Structure 1
Amino acid sequence: MVTKETDNFNIEQICISGQCFRMEPIDGSTYSVVAGGRYVEITQEGKSCTFRCAEEEYESFWRHYFDLDEDYGAYIKNIDVKDDYLRSAALLGSGIRILRQDLWEMTASFLISQQNNITRIRRCISNICETYGEKRESASGRVYYTFPEPEALAELEEDALKECNLGYRSKYVVRTARSIAYGDVNLDHIRSLSYPEAKAELLKLYGVGDKVADCICLFGLHHLDAFPVDTHISQALKAHYRRGFPKRRYKGYRGVMQQYIFYYELNGKR
């Protein structure tokens, strides 16, 4: 086990922030996470987080995955003192970090996310993993499933994933899996591109529109200037930024601000 004290890190906030779909609560303070073929359980009490994994695995994977070397406090300090809305949003969601997630998994996940809610997205992805992923067992004996590789989905009929509750989104995921598996799309190449270049390439994929491309760029490529605009963000911008969101001010970490706004819109009015 590895125990660390970290500022601006809240596993519960990250879990419900809408950027990841394979993280879930086990009890009040412990969460499980499946990523990169790995499984970890994290217990948080205040700033103290215990990762139930070996020190080597924490250093080589989870530390990077949770973006723990980045100073998110500096992002919050740079928010315009006159922007009461954004300051309130950042205060509420101050424990959110932008995870460094797998590009293929994020591409498939956000294709599934279209016209869908977070609970259903989680269920769809769980179904896909249990049906087409690899069954594994954690050191603690808990069974989990990896996210299937593109090759595992590429030979399916376009409607096959309807059995996993994807509905019309099945063809989006299957066709994209084929494009990657057959070499028409090179994910390593996309990883090497700048944000505008990567977004342009992602927009060529079947079923990928502007919002989904930005989500993939932010959560699958860690391009922090990506600023996905969905219904919640659009409503917030209309209500609080009639002249447009001041993206120039937050160049280099606009996506972090987007997450604060998204989280606030979903959770700040309960």
Structure 2
Amino acid sequence: MIVKTFADFDLKQIAASGQCFRLEEAAPGRFNLLASDRYLEILDMSARQDIPGAEPSRTYGFSCTEQEFEEFWSPYFDLSADYGAVKRLVPERDRYLRNAVSFGGGIRILRQDLWETMVTFLISQQNNIPRIRRCVRLLCENYGNTVIDLSGQTHYGFPGPDKLASVSEDELRNCSLGYRAKYIRKTARDVSDGSLCLEAFRHMDYATAREALMSCYGIGIKVADCICLFALHHIEAFPIDTHIRQVLEREYPKGFPVSDYNGCAGILQQYIFYYELFHSAI
């Protein structure tokens, strides 16, 4: 296990932020994460105070080598980016956004696998986070590769497009996917037969990638923006779901000032989403 301390980084907040569905707090302060076919256990070694405005810098133990951490997990967690600089862009006069930033200040935008993100956000349509997690778990258990951790326990990686292209729609529906099964099967077939090139998306700017994604079966504007933000790392993307739309109507009736935030409005969107999701429960 290697130990690291980072500012503006809180796994509990990230796990609950709705951007990733295979990062879970298995026990208080202990997290399990599967990304593609990689498995990681993370231990929160900080004394936690779960209060708004608490210092978001934390110390964690990671069950990997230093090399694997630097080559894969550090980029995955976007640890080289200065999120403090993003927070400093929010003016004092915007009390709502400053409160949201303070409340969820440990969130970072994960750099997730494009294929996995496309499928999980197809699943996310008209769905809630616990049910999305269940659907993803069933999909991985049924069709993913076996991943053995250091203690010999079995986990399951995320199934690739070739595997899901070979599965019938009825079989996918058995993973509690409902009508979303047809979207996933069609997307898998398009990737598998080469009519949809995932690599091409990596070379597109935000506007081009968004339009290209919206031409895919079952992907609308909100899902396209989520994929742009959470997989392609276009941090100017600003997905609008029911929670965000309500905030915009209530707090920003003239529109959210996206242009004020130097192409990083997507980070602020995550602070807002998390604040709306959990602040009302306090």
- Offset of residue 44 of structure 1: 1.5
How far apart, CA to CA, are the structure 2 residues paired with 1:131 and 1:90?
Answer: 39
CA RMSD between the two structures: 0.8
- Offset of residue 21 of structure 1: 0.2
Q: 2:254: which partner in 1?
A: 243
Deviates more, 1:132-141 or 1:170-179: 132-141
Q: How do residues 215-230 of structure 1 correspond to structure 2 at under 5 angstroms?
A: 215-230=226-241
- Offset of residue 52 of structure 1: 1.1
Report the secondary structure of 2:9's partner residue.
Answer: coil
- Work out which of the residue numbers 254, 266, 272 in structure 2 matches 1:255: 266
- Work out which of the residue numbers 203, 213, 238 in structure 1 matches 2:214: 203
- Work out which of the residue numbers 164, 182, 196 in structure 2 matches 1:185: 196
Matching residue's letter, 1:110: F
Deviates more, 1:39-48 or 1:250-259: 39-48
Query: Which of structure 1's runs of 4+ aligned residues deviate more than 4 A?
Result: none
Could you report, residue by residue, the CA deviation over 1:78-122 in whole angstroms, capped at 9, with x for unpaired residues? 112110000000000000000000000000000000000000000
Match status 1:39 vs 2:39: yes
Report the secondary structure of 1:164's partner residue.
Answer: coil
Q: TM-score, normalised by structure 1?
A: 0.98
Deviates more, 1:250-259 or 1:151-160: 151-160
Q: 2:6: which partner in 1?
A: 6
Could you report, residue by residue, the CA deviation over 1:117-138 in whole angstroms, capped at 9, with x for unpaired residues? 0000000000000000011201
Give the gaps of 5 or more residues in structure 2.
Answer: 47-57
How far apart, CA to CA, are the structure 2 residues paired with 1:265 and 1:172?
Answer: 29
Contact 2:39 2:147 in 1 (8 A): no
Give the gaps of 5 or more residues in structure 1.
Answer: none
How far apart, CA to CA, are the structure 2 residues paired with 1:198 and 1:162?
Answer: 29
Matching residue's letter, 2:138: N
How far apart, CA to CA, are the structure 2 residues paired with 1:160 and 1:150?
Answer: 15
Q: 2:20: which partner in 1?
A: 20
How far apart, CA to CA, are the structure 2 residues paired with 1:164 and 1:137?
Answer: 23
Match status 1:214 vs 2:188: no
- Work out which of the residue numbers 120, 136, 145 in structure 1 matches 2:147: 136
How far apart, CA to CA, are the structure 2 residues paired with 1:224 and 1:33?
Answer: 22
Contact 1:158 1:175 in 2 (8 A): no
- Offset of residue 14 of structure 1: 0.2
> How many residues were matched structurally?
270
Could you report, residue by residue, the CA deviation over 1:139-181 in whole angstroms, capped at 9, with x for unpaired residues? 1322110000000011222332110000000001000001111
- Offset of residue 2 of structure 1: 1.2
Contact 1:159 1:171 in 2 (8 A): no
- Offset of residue 25 of structure 1: 1.2
Could you report, residue by residue, the CA deviation over 1:208-267 in whole angstroms, capped at 9, with x for unpaired residues? 000000000000111100000000000011010000000000132110000000000101
Q: 1:106: which partner in 2?
A: 117
Report the secondary structure of 1:256's partner residue.
Answer: helix
Q: 1:62: which partner in 2?
A: 73
